[in-house]
Amino acid sequence: MTANASAPSRLQQLRELSVVVADTGDYDAIARLRPVDCTTNPTLVKKALGLPVYADLIERELAWARTRSGDRRALVDEVADRLTVGVGAMLAALVPGRVSTEVDADLAHDTAATVAKARKFIAMYAERGVPREKVLIKVAATWEGVEAARQLQAEGIDCNLTLIFNPTQAIACAEAGAFLISPFVGRILDWHKARGQVPASIDEDPGVRFVRGVYDEFKRRGAATVVMGASFRSVDQVLALAGCDRLTISPELLEQLDSSTGTVERKLVPPPREQRTLAPVTAERFAADLAADAMASEKLAEGIAAFARDLDALRNDIAARLGA
């Protein structure tokens, strides 16, 4: 069921206020819903392995692997990288904007290894005809990830700093020159609800309030870093952030927005820029502020662990397909 043709859908209206990004590697969903950007990560790549549209890519990469010898673990890791970039390259042909491509979560606390993997991904995309301007390198926003982004941005490699749960964490990313940050709305709400803290209204939703606060602070600072709300649990959360620079939304919520009508109001409006002298975030302040924030500390660690498990699951799937 689609929205009444005589009235714009809420998705159509939202596109006028924010850049809409698809939080999926589902080729058909992206082709149908027409987001500006999309994302890929081990979870989405593993799901993609079951989609017919990627069958030729998967068989090609597995056939390549079967011609190689050497350390099996290294070969499986290489196939995972090749599939990640292969899926990303196919998606890049669908969207006018960027494809976010996630660096291995098990490198989240290793600046040098993160930088090396990011450079490798950019080179692999280039080999497939995808310029770096079409790619965002997705990095967990640990201090080591922030430092990696600082280096990569200086080289002209744009980064998406993810798993943002704390204001100091967000500001550090902006000061490092990150192209984009992804503050996680739903996971913040999850943490509070698990402790019996249920918001009385969408305006009291702690995830919504966090993103609104980061957006306002960035605009007051004149920060160029894009704020992209992520990890939505409901259409209401999405609409409560209408006007945010970007919003990355699951296909399920995109479908709900596309099949409904009703006025979508701008909720985020840039405040005037302020001239302020601010001390930059240091490693010590970053660590202290996260340590004092139980929600952010737990959710950052939990998110990295979950991404790492997803990467292991992808590797195990590849190993099984290659045979014992």
Residues acting as catalytic residues: 138
Name the CA radius of gyration of the chain, rounded.
20
In angstroms, the CA 120 to CA 132 distance is 11
Please check whether residue 147 is in contact with residue 176, taking contact to mean a CB–CB distance below 8 angstroms: yes
Measured CA angle at 268 (ends 265, 271), to 5 deg: 135
**CA-CA distances (angstroms) from residue 198 to 65, 166, 194, 195?**
50, 20, 9, 8
Give the number of other CB atoms < 10 A from CB of residue 297.
16
User: How many Å apart are CA 248 and CA 44, to the nearest integer?
Assistant: 14
Closest CA to 293 of 162, 191, 144: 191
**CA 83, CA 48: separation in Å to the nearest integer?**
10
Round to the nearest angstrom and report the end-to-end CA distance of the chain.
46
Cα maximum dimension of the chain: 62
